[in-house]
């Protein structure tokens, strides 16, 4: 099983979209896997509110860890890479916003149940995780 297939399997077993993306690059970033899971925990489901997709947030974490430094040159590089990533992700998926991608607002009490019943977490989320990882692999 490839790393990508393994990551999607882990998503299907319960780790969230942000965790999946960050975890998939943890070896390359020399980031402890347990620490990666903890750092990314509360960002899934669009900050648990249907905002920016957790897979996108995880990708931005990867870019920050790979290229982030405390200087203006680094900031400009990160900002450009985030814009590039976001544009590619939008071109594939139409949005970087979780509620747009899922077609429901996870901030509403009934939305999580709706998304589960409609299979959105099994169809949409693994796809956007895969897309985020593949875009990162392409631009890194």
What would the pLDDT profile of 50-64 be if each residue is shown by its tens digit? 999 999 999 999 999
d(CA 15, CA 28): 20
For residue 61, what are the domain limits?
3-135
Letter string b/e over residues 17-32, b meaning 16 or more CB atoms within 10 A of that residue's CB:
bbbbbbbbbbeeeebe
Give a yes or no: residue 9 inside a domain.
yes
What would the pLDDT profile of 10-63 be if each residue is shown by its tens digit? 988 999 999 999 999 999 999 999 999 999 999 999 998 999 999 999 999 999
Residue 56: which of 111, 103, 101 has the closest Cα?
A: 101
Number of structural domains (the chain) is 1
Give a yes or no: residue 140 inside a domain.
no
Angle at 67 between CA 125 and CA 137, to 5 degrees: 40
């Amino acid at each position: 099983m490839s790393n990508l297939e393994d990551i999607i399997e882990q998503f299907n077993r319960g780790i969230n979209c942000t965790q999946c993306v960050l975890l998939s690059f943890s070896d390359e970033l020399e980031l402890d896997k347990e620490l990666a899971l903890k750092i990314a925990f509360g960002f899934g489901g669009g900050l648990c509110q249907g905002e920016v997709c957790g897979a996108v947030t995880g990708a931005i974490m990867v870019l920050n860890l790979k290229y982030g430094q405390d200087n203006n040159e680094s900031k400009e590089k990160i900002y450009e890479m985030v814009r590039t990533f976001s544009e590619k992700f939008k071109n594939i998926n139409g949005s970087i916003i979780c509620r747009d991608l899922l077609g429901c607002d996870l901030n509403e009490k009934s939305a999580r149940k709706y998304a589960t019943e409609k299979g959105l977490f099994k169809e949409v989320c693994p796809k956007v995780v895969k897309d985020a990882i593949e875009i990162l692999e392409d631009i890194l």
